[in-house]
Chains A and B, each alone.
Chain A
Amino acid sequence: MADRLTNPFAFEPGGSALARFHPLAKLGFLLAVTSASMRARPEFVAALFALSLVLSIQIPRAGSGPLRAIALLALFAALVRGMLPGDGRLFDSGTLPESALYAARLFSVYLYSRIFYATTRVSEIGDWFTAAFRAARTVWRRITVVIIPRRANPRNTACSVPSGSASLPVPSILSDPGMLFSIALLFLPRIFDAHRRIREAGEMRGILLSRRNARRSLAMLEHFIVESMMIAYRTSLAMQVRGYSPERGLRLSALKRLDWVLLAASAGLLMLR
C-alpha cells in the first residue's frame, strides 16, 4: 500500500480490461492521446478528459501528490494569464475558459500516463525495448561488416591476406537494455528508501543537512553512494544465481484485433486538429 501512495505510477495487478491490451498498442495510444490533449480543439480535449476520468475509475486511487501539483500549476497559470490585465481590473475573468482548457490538457496527460503505467508491466515494455534493440543490432552488424586480416605477418605486413570478416562491436551492456530499464525503475523506490534511512540515521546523530555542513553532508553522500552500489551488487548476484543472461529469451505477445482497433484510434487522434 505504501508504495502506491508514494508512487502514483505503480503497476496495479488485477483483472482490469485495460491490462489485457498489448503494451505497444497502449504505448501508441498514450503518445497519441498526449499529443492530442496538448493541441486539439477544446471540445475534443473535454471529451478526452472525460474519457480519462471514466477509465481512471478502473484503477485504484493513488496518492494525491501529483494531482495537487498539477492543480497548483494550473492555478498559477490562470493567475498569470488573468491577473492585472492592464485596464484597472484586478483579474480578467474572460481568461478563465482558456485556463480551464490548459488545466484539462495537463490533467488528461497525467491521467492517461497513470492509466498506462498502472495497467502495463515494466517488463512487458522492457522486453519489446530489448527486442527492438536486438533487431537494430543485427542490422548494425550487417551494415558495419569490415574486412579484417586473418593474421598479419609481423615481418612483412604486405603478406597479410584479408580473408575473414567481422562487424564493429556492440557494447555488451546494450544486449538487454529492456532489463536495464525495468530494473532501474524497480529499484528507484529502494534507492530512495536507502536515502531516507541514511538521512534519518544521520539526523538522529545530529547531522542536519539543512545546516549546510558540507563535510558531514559529503560523508552521508559517500555512505549513500556505497549503499546504492551494494544494492546494485546484491541484485546482480541474485540475478546471476537465478540464471539471468543478457541474451535471455523474451516474452513477446502478438497484437490482437482489439489492439489494432486501439492503434487505429491512436492514428485518428494524431490526425485531430
Chain B
Amino acid sequence: MSELFRASALRHRFPDGTFGLNEVNLSIEEGEFVIIAGRNGAGKSLLMRHFVGLSAPTSGKVFYRGASVAERIPLIRKEVGYVFQDTEAQIFGQTVREDLAFGPANLGVKGAELERSIDAALHDAHMDGMADRRPPTLSGGEKRRLAMAGVLAMRPRCIILDEPFANLDFPSIHDILSVLSTLRAEGVTLVVLTHEIEKVMALASRLIILDAGRIAFDALPREAPKSIFTASGLVCPYRECYPWQID
C-alpha cells in the first residue's frame, strides 16, 4: 500500500485564537477504510478540507502522494472525491444523468467514455434506472446516493464522505452501507467522517477519534477501549455499553 495523505504537525488556528486542529500527525494509506470520528466541532471536516486543499494550515504541512497538497491540486481533483453533508448544494444537473456528467466533463471526459462513466456510477451507487429522474423528485437517501454517484463518475481513487448518515432513515442508511461495501471491495480508499460510528464500524479498517482538534485515538476499530468513546462524546457501539439498547 502506498501513502495517500499525510499531515505533519498540522495546526489550524481560527481568527478568534482557538485551534480547530492542533499538532495533528497522521497518514492515510491507499485502500484503507478509515472512520474519522468525534463530537461536533472536533475538527473532522476541517482536517479533510486541509487534505483536499480547501483550507490552508496555520502551521505544519499536508502532503498528497508525497508532495505538498498545494502542488497536487489538479491530481487531487482527479483522484479524490468529496461528498459533502449538504447534498442539495452539490447537485448541479436538471436530471440525474446531467448531474453525473458534471464532474467527468470538467476533467475532459467526452462521448462514449462519459456515458460509460455515468452508467458505471449509477450502477455502483445502486441507482440503475434513475438516470432520467429529476433531482428534486428524489428522496433524502437517493439524493445522498446521487451525491456519491456524482463523485464515483469521476472514478476517484479515494472518497471522503462527510456525515453520510445524517438525516437518513434506516433503509437509506442500509443502501449507503451497501454502496460503501461495494467500493471497499473494489479497493477504493474510503474516509468516513461521522459521529455515528456504530453504523459503519464493522466495515472499517481503522478508527481515528478527534477531540478538540487533537487525535485522541488511532488504531484498529476493535482495539478502541470503551472509555474512549464516552470520553470523546461518542456513542459506545458495543452491545454491553450501547446506551439505547432495549432488552
Interface residues of B in 79-131 (CB under 8 A from A): 80-82, 84, 86, 88-90, 92-95, 97-98, 102-103, 105-108, 110
What DSSP secondary structure best describes chain B's contact surface? mixed
A241 interfacial contact with B, CB 8 Å:
yes
- Is the CB–CB distance between B78 and A11 below 8 Å? no
- Is the CB–CB distance between B89 and A13 below 8 Å? no
- Is the CB–CB distance between B105 and A248 below 8 Å? yes
Name the interface size band of chain B.
20 to 34
- Is the CB–CB distance between B89 and A235 below 8 Å? yes
Interface string of B40-67 (1 = CB under 8 A from A): 0000000000001010000000000000
A67 interfacial contact with B, CB 8 Å:
no
Q: How far is the CA of A14 from the CA of B90 in the complex (A)?
A: 23
Q: How far is the CA of A219 from the CA of B13 in the complex (A)?
A: 30
- Which residue on B lies nearest to A237, using beta carbons? B54
Chain A residues within 8 Å of B174, by CB: none
Chain A residues within 8 Å of B133, by CB: 13
Q: How far is the CA of A199 from the CA of B89 in the complex (A)?
A: 21
Chain B residues within 8 Å of A244, by CB: 102, 106
Interface size counted on chain A using CB atoms at 8 A: 31
Interface residues of A in 231-273 (CB under 8 A from B): 231, 234-235, 237-245, 248-249, 251
- Is the CB–CB distance between A243 and B103 below 8 Å? yes
- Is the CB–CB distance between A234 and B89 below 8 Å? yes
Q: A14-B132, A123-B93, A234-B89 are in contact. Are A242 and B98 (CB under 8 A)?
A: no
Chain B residues within 8 Å of A234, by CB: 84, 86, 89-90
- Is the CB–CB distance between B103 and A123 below 8 Å? no
B77 interfacial contact with A, CB 8 Å:
yes
Q: A1-B137, A3-B136 are in contact. Are A235 and B108 (CB under 8 A)?
A: no
Chain A residues within 8 Å of B103, by CB: 242-243
Chain A residues within 8 Å of B141, by CB: none
Q: How far is the CA of A1 from the CA of B133 in the complex (A)?
A: 10
B28 interfacial contact with A, CB 8 Å:
no
Residue from the list B78, B90, B105 in contact with A238, Cβ < 8 A: B90
Chain B residues within 8 Å of A10, by CB: 94, 134, 136
Closest CB in chain B relative to A243 CB, distance in Å: 4
Closest CB in chain A relative to B148 CB, distance in Å: 12
Residue from the list B95, B97, B102, B134 in contact with A242, Cβ < 8 A: B102
A53 interfacial contact with B, CB 8 Å:
no
B209 interfacial contact with A, CB 8 Å:
no
B69 interfacial contact with A, CB 8 Å:
no
- Which residue on B lies nearest to A123, using beta carbons? B98
Interface string of A1-25 (1 = CB under 8 A from B): 1111000001101100000000000
- Which residue on B lies nearest to A120, using beta carbons? B94
Q: How far is the CA of A123 from the CA of B208 in the complex (A)?
A: 41
A183 interfacial contact with B, CB 8 Å:
yes
Interface residues of A in 174-201 (CB under 8 A from B): 182-183, 186, 189-190
- Which residue on A lies nearest to B109, using beta carbons? A249
Residue from the list A2, A241, A243 in contact with B107, Cβ < 8 A: A243
Interface string of A96-138 (1 = CB under 8 A from B): 0000000000000000000000000111000000000000000
Subset of 9 A-B contacts with CB under 8 Å: A10-B136, A121-B94, A123-B94, A237-B84, A238-B84, A238-B89, A241-B54, A242-B103, A244-B106
Query: A: which residues have CB within 8 A of B?
Result: 1-4, 10-11, 13-14, 121-123, 182-183, 186, 189-190, 231, 234-235, 237-245, 248-249, 251
Query: B: which residues have CB within 8 A of A?
Result: 52, 54, 77-78, 80-82, 84, 86, 88-90, 92-95, 97-98, 102-103, 105-108, 110, 132-134, 136-137, 150-151, 154
For the complex of A and B, the 3 pairs showing the least CB-CB separation, nearest first, are A238-B90, A243-B106, A234-B89
